[in-house]
Chains A and B, each alone.
Chain A
């Protein structure tokens, strides 16, 4: 089945640690995105990548880093510089330039303990 897989579903991190969230897609989509969702809020764009080996900052990139070494994979690292990392993280992908719908993964809930 084609889709987007995020892992893990739940993640706990100690303060001061970096943690990496996985996002894999088998839809052959060029564009991939990371969003953050806080309770009672909509999604906010962290980073996006429109092609392999290229990515751009979104609205709230500070404290996060990404890589896009393969078309299928777009991992997100939450660094110790992110002051308030506890949130729900969603990965999405989209086909070509004129493709409309973005497909989302199931999300990763990150909690700092």
Chain B
């Protein structure tokens, strides 16, 4: 079973509109972290936002916010007032801190959403 699921392979959004990118996750570890990364066409991975499983409030970083619904195992990224420069691949990822079952350290990534902002 996939640990990170991103159901939107691609999205077209008008400039200045808000965008919600979906992410659901699966883990049995009570302690985990959820990440969103942006990957422009140049290839580097740019960290956007982090949410810990015990954090009481949703994380926010400038125009980015994470809509964390723990019971639903959902961690959607919201980009407010989208800009042309937001066009990129967006990846949701998870790190399981207790690594139950002897799993590896490192991030588990979803397959990504290709976001295109139209003028």
A contact residues vs B (CB 8 Å cutoff): 31, 33, 35, 40-45, 48, 50, 56-59, 88, 90, 92, 100-107, 109
**Which single residue of chain A is at the shortest CB-CB distance from B37?**
A104
Contact of B106 among A33, A40, A100 (CB under 8 A): A33
Chain A interface mostly helix, strand, loop or mixed?
strand
When distances are taken between beta carbons in the complex, the residues of chain A under 8 Å from B95 are: 100
Please state if B111 and A42 are interface contacts (CB–CB under 8 Å). yes
Docked Cα-Cα span, A104 to B109, in Å, equals: 14
When distances are taken between beta carbons in the complex, the residues of chain A under 8 Å from B107 are: 33, 35, 43, 45, 92, 102
Please state if A48 and B44 are interface contacts (CB–CB under 8 Å). no
| Proximity bits, B96-114, A CB within 8 Å = 1, else 0 | 0000000011111111100
Please state if A107 and B111 are interface contacts (CB–CB under 8 Å). no
Tell me, rounded to whole Å, the shortest Cβ–Cβ distance linking B14 to chain A. 25
When distances are taken between beta carbons in the complex, the residues of chain A under 8 Å from B4 are: 42
Instruction: Contacts A104-B45, A106-B43, A107-B43 given; indicate if A50 touches B91 (C-beta within 8 A).
Output: no
